[in-house]
Amino acid sequence: MDHSGYRSPLSTRYASKEMQFLFSDQFKFSTWRRLWIMLAKAEMDLGLPITQSQITEMESNIENIDFPAAAAEEKATRHDVMAHVHVFAKQCPSAAPIIHLGATSCYVGDNTDLIILRDALDLLLTRVVSVVKSLMDFAMQYRDLPTLGFTHLQPAQLTTVGKRCTLWIQDLLMDERNLRFLRENLRFRGVKGTTGTQASFLELFNGDGSKVKELDKKVTKLAGFERSYPVTGQTYSRKVDVDVVNAIASLGSTIHKMCSDLRLLASMKEVEEPFEATQIGSSAMPYKRNPMRSERCCALARHMITLQSNAANTHATQWMERTLDDSANRRLTLSESFLSADASLLTLLNISQGIVVYPKVIERHIQQELPFMAAENVIMAMVKAGGDRQVCHEKIRVLSHEAGAQVKQHGKDNDLVERIKADKYFEPILGQLEHILDAKTFTGRAGDQVVDFNEEEVKPVLEMYAGKIQTSSVKLVI
């Protein structure tokens, strides 16, 4: 292997073979040939002088692409489509006169891009839902395990480990909805001609507009689409790319948020991503177990988010029926959006299948904060036992400040409970303290919310992808 040139890490380190194939030259140019065959079949059906033997000749050479010859032709002509027309024609001499008949370059270029977008969206959707399924299993397992909630990244009212996970899942379900909407509404460019007027095809069919309309419908069906865009310029509107890349950028924000949470929890030693037996966390600090998978997801997610502006700016600068300054940008933006999303979702699936929870660490953190949070419950119990609320409030305030000083100034554990037990004022409720300080009484309906969420929101989505969800263990190559 030649290591002297640039190679994208998306293809050498991160993205799956399936997604890479969709953006490969082999898939692209064999799809061009399939589109030329679809066009010829439809034109033959509608009465143009094309024979079945010509179509058979083309079909026998769909995958047989002479890449060196095509590169040499493109170098001479400076035109990628015509280079492949010439090479295909040499391989199919009897079909040469009817290859690309009536079409413009965007017939193969744009329609292939839409086929790639369709198939890539299908692949991403299965990835998203596979992560949802794995995370939902985790959420159900830990739906009742209390943990500190955080607002402003400061300890707040308790939640549960499973309930927090449902917040990540809910965002992913929004991404599934967005991607599925795009997939269901994606159309074909179809057979529209040089500037979208279908003039060349109208000429081929001697002015019969009904046959031109039928041609567009036939090719659209042959390509596996239900509908084509009713009007185009030379290209399909780059607004389609904006919507697709926007949805992937939104998915990026979801992944970044979740993996940032995991990184914070790993820092607190409450939760840990999978860590292999031979994995090295640091070249200098052998004890470290860095959350490298979550960090990778965040890195890729940021790239997904930044590509959003590329698609929007490209659409904004398409003058009239089209300009070619979209081409180089789209080669980068569309492929890298999908490859980055694919790579981050595969990594996220690996994480979600092996999240490790440390209940004892979580419990210790709860006990450091819970006495403060339970202050109101202590007051209410004293009032029920006949105490004066204002007197009790003042005593709790003083004891809380004293305990807080032990924590902040002396680095000791929170001893508020011991101070309450040592104060004779609270003798009437000492027998209730264990119940008052039971963490599970502070989590509200968190556990029930997880169950309801699974039944009402998650299961209906999973049912739509029955048989497609990846449940086998995902291994990362690097």
pLDDT at 277: 53
Tokens of 55: 């179509």
Q: Using CA atoms of 164, 167, 169, 170 in order, give the dihedral in degrees to the nearest 10.
A: 160
Burial of 358 (0-12, 13-18, 19+ CB in 10 A): middle
Give this prediction's pTM: 0.90
Do 173 and 167 contact (CB within 8 A), yes or no? Answer: no
Of the chain, the percentage scoring pLDDT greater than 70 comes to 97
Do 243 and 182 contact (CB within 8 A), yes or no? Answer: yes
Give the separation between CA 404 and CA 260, rounded to whole angstroms: 29
- Look at strands 356-357 and 146-151 and give their pairing: unpaired
Transcribe 205-260 into DSSP letters.
Answer: TTT-HHHHHHHHHHHHHHTT-S-B-S--SSS--THHHHHHHHHHHHHHHHHHHHHH
Q: Using CA atoms of 277, 280, 286, 291 in order, give the dihedral in degrees to the nearest 10.
A: -100
Q: How far is CA 250 from the centre of its chain?
A: 8
Q: How far is CA 185 from the centre of its chain?
A: 19
3-class SS at 203? Answer: helix
- Residue 11 pLDDT more than 90? no
Backbone angles phi, psi at 108, to 5 degrees: -85, -40
pLDDT at 283: 47
Task: Kindly report the average pLDDT of the chain as a whole number.
Answer: 92
pLDDT at 164: 98
Going by pLDDT thresholds of 50, 70 and 90, the confidence category of residue 308 is: very high
Residue 475, Ramachandran bin (φ over 0: left; ψ between -120 and 50: alpha; else beta): beta
Q: Which long-range contacts (CB under 8 A, 24 or more apart) does 152-155 make?
A: 153/264, 155/365, 155/369
The DSSP secondary-structure symbol of 324 reads: G
Transcribe 426-450 into DSSP letters.
Answer: GGGGGGGHHHHT-GGGGSTTHHHHH
pLDDT tens-digit series, residues 343-381? 999 999 999 999 999 999 999 999 888 888 887 888 888
Give the separation between CA 317 and CA 475, rounded to whole angstroms: 42
Residue of 129, 130, 145 whose CA lies nearest to 450: 145
In the chain, count of helices (H) and strands (E)? 20, 4
Do 215 and 201 contact (CB within 8 A), yes or no? Answer: yes
pLDDT at 403: 86
pLDDT tens-digit series, residues 140-184? 999 999 999 999 999 888 999 999 999 999 999 999 999 999 999
The DSSP secondary-structure symbol of 326 reads: G
Helix (H) or strand (E) holding 148: strand 146-151
Q: What is the mean pLDDT of residues 420-436?
A: 85
Give the separation between CA 270 and CA 276, rounded to whole angstroms: 18
Give the separation between CA 316 and CA 198, rounded to whole angstroms: 25
Catalytic residues: 152, 282
- Residue 13 pLDDT more than 80? yes
Q: How far is CA 208 from the centre of its chain?
A: 46
Q: What angle do CA 97, 102, 107 make, to 5 degrees?
A: 110
Q: What is the mean pLDDT of residues 226-231?
A: 96
- Residue 12 pLDDT more than 90? no
The DSSP secondary-structure symbol of 188 reads: B
pLDDT tens-digit series, residues 52-61? 999 999 999 9
- Residue 302 pLDDT more than 50? yes
What domains, with CATH codes, occur in the chain?
20-98 (1.10.275.10), 105-148+156-358 (1.20.200.10), 375-436 (1.10.40)
